[in-house]
Chain A
Amino acid sequence: MNDNESAGARELIAFRIGEQEFCVDIISVREIRGFAAATPLPHSPDYVRGVINLRGTVLPIVDLAARLGFGATIPTARSVIIVVRVNQQLVGLLVDAVSDILTVTDDLLQPTPELASELARAFVRGVMAVEGRMISLIAVDNVLPQMELAA
């Protein structure tokens, strides 16, 4: 991850999954687009919704709610796909709605509380309190199933 600016200030995109708020670093976000029906992939984990056509690129869609163990998202008109770059790959994250763009400094970030489930802790880098809300910072690196890189 690129740490921008010396003060440790960073911009984050906040979004909602169910009643909870999460965010990702804006640097990794390529674009945000409306939900489109995905073509399911056979033999894939349940949180991989399938693939969509992003202007000619085949883009896998990860249902972030399912990935975090909250159960599958039922897409609505407000559902969006946040396209993020993870390493050299593009991945679409299906979330319920984008809520905000935040500018925060690193010192706001608190370590993930101990009681969080193992699954959630694998993807949550930390939590922060912003204007009375609690927002968890998602580490996008691990959202895709681990593929053999050898292929």
Chain B
Amino acid sequence: MDAMAEIRATFFEECAEQLAELEAGLLAIESGEADADTVNAVFRAVHSIKGGAGAFNLDDLVHFAHVFETTLDELRSNRLEATLDVVRVMLRAADVLADLVTVARDGGSVDAVRTRGLVEELKALVGGKKDAPAAAPAASDDGPIFAPMVGDGMDGLDFVPVSVDLSDMMDGGESRYRIQFRPRAELYAKANESARLIRECLALGSGEVTCDTSAIPLLTDLDPEGAYLAWTIELASEAGEPAVREIFEFVEWDCDLSIDRILDASAMAADDGVDPEIAALLARLAGGADAAADEPAADAPMAEVVELKPAAAAAAPKPAPAAEAPAPRKAERAAAAAESGDAKAAAAGSAPAATIRVDLERVDRLIDLVGELVIHQVMLSQRVMQAGLARASDVAVGLDELEQLTREIQDSVMAIRAQPVKSVFQKLPRLVREVADITGKQVRLITEGEWTEVDKTVIERLSDPLTHMIRNAIDHGVERPEKRVAAGKGEEGTVRVAAMHRSGRIVIEISDDGAGINRQVVRKIAVDKGLIPADASLSDEETDNLIFLPGFSTKEEVSELSGRGVGMDVVKRSIQALGGRVSIASKPGEGSMFTMSLPLTLAVLDGMIVSAGDHTLVVPLTAIIETLKPKPAEVRGFGNDQRLIEVRGNFMPLVDVARQLGYREEPTDALSGVAILVEAENGARSALLVDGIQGQRQVVIKSLEANYGRVPGVAAATILGDGRVALIIDVDVVAATSRFEQNYFSSGLQAAE
């Protein structure tokens, strides 16, 4: 990868972190838990994104971030009160910012109307408090504030006359600045370096630096970590003041900084006698009127202006300071921005844990190797047992210790991949806002247990079903405000998402305080769609579970959210594809709760080791309900060559695994074998007939697809203690094939992918 692409990738990674921080901060402000630090953190997040985006010429992003930042600055300086309405606008602005980042990274387009609308709203927040929001470009030392936005032509026109600032005009020629820079100790504490900042200044032009050492105390009084030096830089540069300011933009809170222009007559007489003032003014008018924010000078009508392009470009309000940085230095600048951004993030968080970024491939490789280690350790133990060594022998004792160590290593390696579900949960507030907006409902989201850890692969595949269930909870569960009031509830509905560990699995509960499941309606729909016979007698629980049937959709009117032909059956199937289960509990009038339970990792699985024919197979423990020895009276022939088994009065198909997988032609003797009762994804029960059970063990899951492809009836493979490959049965397919439902299930498998 070339260096630029790498920096770009880093930038987007950091954007994601900043966006998360931004949203978390805004939510804290919304719930009234915010202090000054939170507001600052929010501001810095937007500011860093803007800074980085400028380095990559992501003008849309810079423009929006700037407007957002300006509004946040009002908040930060207490000129704007953080009312609920204000925070909501900002939350939506954060969503738009996230969209813009995504677009900048992956291409595509954003909803321009929405963006523009929010720009207006954000500006209105500022405008309401301040008469002339753009009256003072670069006048505040809070940060680079620029002439008004030219993104929308109307504003541009309005502001043009007032925002023509002399300092901007002069940028075309060489101007002189006196920069007084007195760092405070915090600046050094955040790993910034004065020498570097000064060098960057000098890189803009030429200048003279004088150091003021008068503040240095006697050696006895000197604080080794204090800051005692101040510098005055007399800089002559063609770059505008914003460019100079930009150098200090990440340290401006930690130093006393003043940048003054020294008027120099010679600079005025620049450029072919064309008055740069007029040229710049013309360029700005043209740019503003055309709303051509990105290329203010490109289609300017006058030849002089084109000649003066550098001047005009600098003078016209560019959205980003960084965009003006000379191209060769952009990479360096971005790196610097990233560094100081990091320093700030570190300073903002209370006690950040030290972390490193590791390529996921390396972790996976390590996990593979540890899996190998486990297999070989088991193999070695078996060989030692076979060799007839006593359990108390030194070798056996040593092996026991090795086993202990191996397990610890395995646990630790798995912990590397474990991540808090927070990364999924933090996308939910936005989802809830959007769905609530579309449906016209008021919904509050409560998340609990967001630090619950689970394997990364599970997290990645958790997002879709969770999203769907929350949509469902808001769309179908929570009632409209007027209905809620009529039912004696508050206008605002609540959706609660909670994660917890329970007996080696992760459990996620999604509950709402809505109307609950309307069982009559559910039943009627199921009957109408032919999913159940009209006279079926179903318990409440069974009725609730009807919504998981394929082809079921409760809402008569197809709403924007639910009308995509994706029902709860897909949710259920994708959860089951992860080795999980989902259940529902509902009380009419009080709400529903969906509970999903998932394995903590997809790398290992608890399995029952069975033999069928001459082969060893693994049946996932999650699917097994019970095992039993069939008695002669319980097994009945059915049809041509099917068999049924009776378990406590219920008949269910008895699936001959060895025959099903083609290991054996003749049927397995049911009486000498063992029946394993399993529940398939659709809740249908069947019994798998195998020759015997060898034991129960955690096995490492190995993909068959990597080198071969999908095999019907086989979920994956594993390697047993003897070094041979054993297949892990896909219970749903094996059980279903016997019921001649292959078509349904093969399509189901594709959907679960």
Note whether A and B form a binding pair. yes
A52 surroundings in chain B (CB, below 8 A)? 724-725
> Separation in Å of the B738 CB from the closest CB of chain A?
14
* Pairs of residues from A and B, 4 with the lowest C-beta to C-beta distance, nearest first: A147-B709, A42-B661, A60-B708, A39-B725
Q: Are A39 and B368 in contact (CB under 8 A)?
A: no
A38 to B708, CA, bound (A): 14
Stretch among B203-211, B329-337, B622-630, B710-718 lining the A interface: B710-718
Instruction: Verify if B375 is at the interface (C-beta below 8 Å from A).
Output: yes
A151 touches which of B661, B662, B705, B714 (Cβ 8 Å)? B705
B709 touches which of A56, A90, A145 (Cβ 8 Å)? A145
Instruction: Verify if A37 is at the interface (C-beta below 8 Å from B).
Output: yes
B703 surroundings in chain A (CB, below 8 A)? 58
Could you show 27 A-B contacts with beta carbons less than 8 Å apart? A37-B724, A38-B725, A39-B724, A39-B726, A41-B711, A41-B714, A42-B660, A42-B661, A42-B663, A42-B712, A43-B713, A50-B725, A51-B704, A51-B708, A52-B724, A53-B719, A53-B723, A56-B369, A56-B371, A56-B372, A57-B706, A57-B707, A58-B706, A89-B707, A151-B709, A151-B710, A151-B753
B residues 655-694 near A (Cβ < 8 Å) are 660-663
A147 to B707, CA, bound (A): 11
Q: Are A43 and B711 in contact (CB under 8 A)?
A: yes
> Separation in Å of the A31 CB from the closest CB of chain B?
14
B interface with A by C-beta (< 8 Å): 368-369, 371-372, 375, 615, 660-663, 702-714, 717, 719, 723-727, 750, 753
A40 surroundings in chain B (CB, below 8 A)? 615, 662-663
Known contacts A52-B725, A60-B707, A91-B707; 16 further A-B pairs (Cβ under 8 A)? A37-B724, A40-B662, A41-B711, A42-B711, A43-B662, A51-B704, A51-B708, A56-B371, A58-B704, A58-B706, A58-B707, A58-B708, A59-B707, A89-B706, A144-B708, A151-B750
A interface with B by C-beta (< 8 Å): 37-44, 48, 50-53, 55-60, 89-91, 144-145, 147-148, 150-151
B723 surroundings in chain A (CB, below 8 A)? 53
Q: Are B724 and A42 in contact (CB under 8 A)?
A: no
A-B pairs with beta carbons under 8 A, tally = 85
Chain B: CB-nearest residue to A44 = B711
A147 touches which of B369, B372, B710 (Cβ 8 Å)? B710
A89 touches which of B368, B708, B714 (Cβ 8 Å)? B708
> Contacts A51-B717, A51-B725, A52-B725 given: A41-B372 contact, CB under 8 Å?
no
A38 to B703, CA, bound (A): 16
> Separation in Å of the A28 CB from the closest CB of chain B?
14
A43 to B737, CA, bound (A): 12
> Separation in Å of the B392 CB from the closest CB of chain A?
32
A56 to B379, CA, bound (A): 13
Q: Are A41 and B726 in contact (CB under 8 A)?
A: no
Chain A: CB-nearest residue to B712 = A43
Chain A: CB-nearest residue to B373 = A56
A55 surroundings in chain B (CB, below 8 A)? 372
B372 surroundings in chain A (CB, below 8 A)? 55-56
Among A40, A44, A51, A91, max chain B CB count under 10 A is at A51
> Separation in Å of the A3 CB from the closest CB of chain B?
25
Q: Are B662 and A56 in contact (CB under 8 A)?
A: no
A83 to B708, CA, bound (A): 13
> Contacts A41-B711, A151-B710 given: A56-B717 contact, CB under 8 Å?
no
A48 to B707, CA, bound (A): 13
A40 to B727, CA, bound (A): 9
A79 to B213, CA, bound (A): 84
A53 to B376, CA, bound (A): 12
> Separation in Å of the B647 CB from the closest CB of chain A?
26
A144 to B708, CA, bound (A): 8
B711 surroundings in chain A (CB, below 8 A)? 41-44
B705 surroundings in chain A (CB, below 8 A)? 151
> Separation in Å of the A65 CB from the closest CB of chain B?
19
Chain A: CB-nearest residue to B729 = A42
Q: Are A42 and B714 in contact (CB under 8 A)?
A: yes
Among A43, A53, A150, max chain B CB count under 10 A is at A53
B371 surroundings in chain A (CB, below 8 A)? 56
> Separation in Å of the A45 CB from the closest CB of chain B?
11
A56 touches which of B615, B702, B727 (Cβ 8 Å)? B702
Q: Are A56 and B719 in contact (CB under 8 A)?
A: yes
A43 to B709, CA, bound (A): 12
